[in-house]
Amino acid sequence: MEILTLITPTGDRPLAFALCQNWIRKQTLRPDQWIVIDDGKIPLKPTVPMQYVRRDPLPDDPKHTLILNLKEAMPLIKNSKIIIVEDDEYYAPGYIAEMALRLNQYEVVGIGKSKYYHLPSGGYFRIKNMTHASLAQTAFRSSFLPEFNELLKKSNVYLDSNIWRKANKNGSGFIFVDSDKNPLYLGIKGLPGRAGIGRGHDPTLYRRYPHDTTREILKGWIPKDYGIYMDILKGKLTKENYQSWLKM
C-alpha cells in the first residue's frame, strides 16, 4: 500500500505551527503519516492527528537544528512518498495532492521561481531559480531515501541545494513553476518565533524589493486565506490565543 508521509521540523514557533496545522487540516489529500519533530525550549501542543516526536534541546546543539531533527525523523518514515512541510509557510489546499501526483512521474519534485512574502513589512519578491527548490517545497520518493540519508550526514544548513545537486546530476528531479493565481505555496517570512535558516528570513533583504503597503499582493496570491495573516498583523491572532482560534 502506498503511504504518503509529511515531515515537519519545528521548535519555538507556536503561532506558525498553529497555522501549519490549519493548512494541513484543509488539504484535499491528507497524509497517511505526519511526522513532527519538535526541539523547542517549550514543547508544542498538537491539535490535529500527527506523529509528534519531542527532541529535547541539548547544550551542544548547533544554532540551526534542521539536520538533527530530520535525522530523528528518518527511522519513522513509512516509505513511498515523502513531502517536507515547513511550519512557517503557506500551503494551499491542493498542495499535497499536486506534489503526490507529480511524484508518480519523478523521484524528486519541487517548485521553482517561488514567491516570498515578508509579513511585517509587506516586502515581496519572486526568485528566478529553476535549478533547485527550497526544502519547504521539495518532495521525493522512498527510493531517494538512501541519497537523502547520506546528504544528512554530509550537509550543512543548505540541505536543499545539495538535494537538488544530486537529483539534477542523476536526472531524477523535476521542478515546476507554480501559478500566480491561487498558488500552491507561498513562502511567508517574519512570523513570530525562532528565526529560520534561509536568506528570506533576513528582514533587511526586503529593502531591495517592492513593498505591498495595501496588502493587495498578498490578497491576490492567496485570496481565500490572506485574512488570517491580516488578523496576525492586526493583533487579533497571536501566540496567546491561537488554540481557541484553531477550534473555530
User: How many domains are contained in the chain?
Assistant: 1
CATH of the domain at 207: 3.90.550.10
Q: What is the pTM of this model?
A: 0.96
pLDDT band, very low/low/confident/very high, at 162 (cuts 50, 70, 90): very high
Q: What pLDDT is stored for residue 244 in this prediction?
A: 84
How many whole angstroms separate alpha carbon 236 and alpha carbon 76? 37
Q: What pLDDT is stored for residue 197 in this prediction?
A: 81
Query: For residue range 85-126, what is the model confidence (pLDDT) as tens digits?
Result: 999 999 999 999 999 999 999 999 999 999 999 999 999 999
How many whole angstroms separate alpha carbon 154 and alpha carbon 221? 37
pLDDT at 156 over 80: no
φ/ψ region of 218 (left if φ > 0, alpha if ψ in -120 to 50, else beta) reads alpha
How many whole angstroms separate alpha carbon 169 and alpha carbon 187? 26
Give me the domain span that covers residue 183: 4-246
Residue with cell 516570498: 116
Locate 131 and state its grid cell.
Answer: 535549478
Lowest mean pLDDT among 80-84, 149-153, 192-196: 192-196
Q: What pLDDT is stored for residue 2 in this prediction?
A: 72
User: Looking at the chain, which runs of residues are DSSP E strands?
Assistant: 4-10, 33-38, 51-54, 81-84, 90-91, 108-112, 115-118, 123-126, 138-141, 173-177, 185-189
